Structure 1
Amino acid sequence: MRVALLLRGVNVGGVSVRSADLRAVLEEAGLGEVRTVLASGNALVTATDAPAAAEAAERGLEARYGRRIRVLGLPTADLQRIVDAYPHAEDDAHTPYVVLELEPGVARELAALEAGDGEAIAAGAGVVYWSNPKGTTLTSPFAKALEHTAKDRVTTRNLRTLRKVLAAA
């Protein structure tokens, strides 16, 4: 099956993982048909088990970079369901995000937080759907709460990025 691998916290904050290096790490980890998508820590692989593929990727990345880089592995069919369930209107004034949990229960905690002016949050299965006014991705009330509450326990993607990952599958 095709599996989307979403790396947490790369190519931001000083942690750089080039696409060619990511591809090499994943191939060396024994994952098949590796394809990277954009330069933001996204890859597609062929594997029989998504969590096992994510674990193999984490081990390979730690061996290469000397630090843990968390990876979420999702069958592309599951990722498609997550994208299709995005509940907020999309417009030019807002940025659509999906916050994906790396640890069970985090999404439920986050969905209970209060949204700020112009923001919208909604719970999904293992995700929080978030729409925020453009330019407030790091400064909105939900963004600040997200950073404080779940920084290393989630990975966040723009909905448009997830659509590109799926299109590359």
Structure 2
Amino acid sequence: MRVALLLRGVNVGGVTVRSADLRSVLSDAGLGDVVTVLASGNAVVTATSASVAARTAEAALEARYGRRIRVLGIDVDALAAVVDAYPHGEDDAHTPYVVFELQPGVLAPLVDVETSEDEATALGDGVLYWSNPKGSTLTSAFAKASERIGRTAKGDARDATTTRNLRTLRKVLAAA
């Protein structure tokens, strides 16, 4: 089966994982037909299941980089369903995001966060859809509330979610 792997917290101030290195690490770990997508910690692999692919990738990345890197594994058909279900309109003034839950229950409190007039959120199955004005990803009302709620989540808050631009997810699917 084809599985999309979305790495959490790489190439954005954390550890740098170059595409060529990611391909090599994942291939050496036994994942098949590895394709990397952009320089933002995305890959598509062949594996027996999404959970096996994610665990294999996490172990291989930790061995290579000396620190835990969370990986979301999602079957490409399931990812396509997430992308197709994006409920907000798309335009040049807003950035469409999908926030994936890496820790069960962490997204539920975010649905009730009061957003600005130009933002929109909607809860999906294990994801939260978010549309916000371009240039306000880190400063919007939702972003600030998300960070605050993340800090109160069980465990390491940095590991609670991973977020992708909807356009990036479409590129991941195209690479599948």
Q: Could you tell me the TM-score, scaled by structure 1's length?
A: 0.97
2:166 to 159, 165, 168: 159
C-alpha separation in 2, matches of 1:110 and 1:136: 17
Which amino acid counterpart does residue 27 of structure 2 have in structure 1? E
Identical aligned residues as a percent = 72
Looking at structure 1, the residues matched to 58 and 14 of structure 2 have their Cα atoms a distance apart, in angstroms, of 18
Give me the whole-angstrom Cα distance separating, in 2, the residues matched to 1:109 and 1:46.
34
* 1:138 correspondence with 2:138: yes
Structure 2 letter corresponding to 1:66: G
- Equivalent-residue separation in structure 1 for 2:14 and 2:103 (angstroms): 24
Question: Which residue does 2:114 correspond to in 1?
Answer: 114
> How far is 1:147 from its partner?
2.0
Structure 1 gaps of 5+ residues are none
Runs of 4+ that moved beyond 6 A: none
- Correspondences of 1:1-169 after superposition (within 5 Å): 1-150=1-150, 151-169=158-176
Q: Alpha-carbon deviation of 1:94?
A: 0.4
**Offset of residue 152 of structure 1:** 2.3
The RMSD of aligned alpha carbons is: 0.9
* 1:107-165 Cα distance to aligned partner (Å, 9 max, x none): 22222222123100000000000000010000001111222223420000000000000
Deviations 1:80-118 (A, max 9, x none): 000000000101110000000011112222222221231
Residue deviations 1:17-64 (CA, integer Å, cap 9, x gap):
000111111011110100000000000000111011101100011111
SS at match of 2:107: helix
| 3-state DSSP of counterpart to 1:61 | helix
- The number of residues matched between the two structures is 169
Distance 2:114 2:28 in 1: 43
TM-score of the two chains, using structure 2 as the length reference: 0.93
Q: How far apart are the structure 2 equivalents of 1:128 and 1:164? A: 19
Closer/same/farther in 2, CA of residues 166 and 24 from structure 1, 3 Å limit: same
Which residues of structure 2 form unaligned runs of 5+? 151-157
3-state DSSP of counterpart to 1:106: coil
Equivalent pair of 2:103/2:159 in contact (CA under 8 Å): no
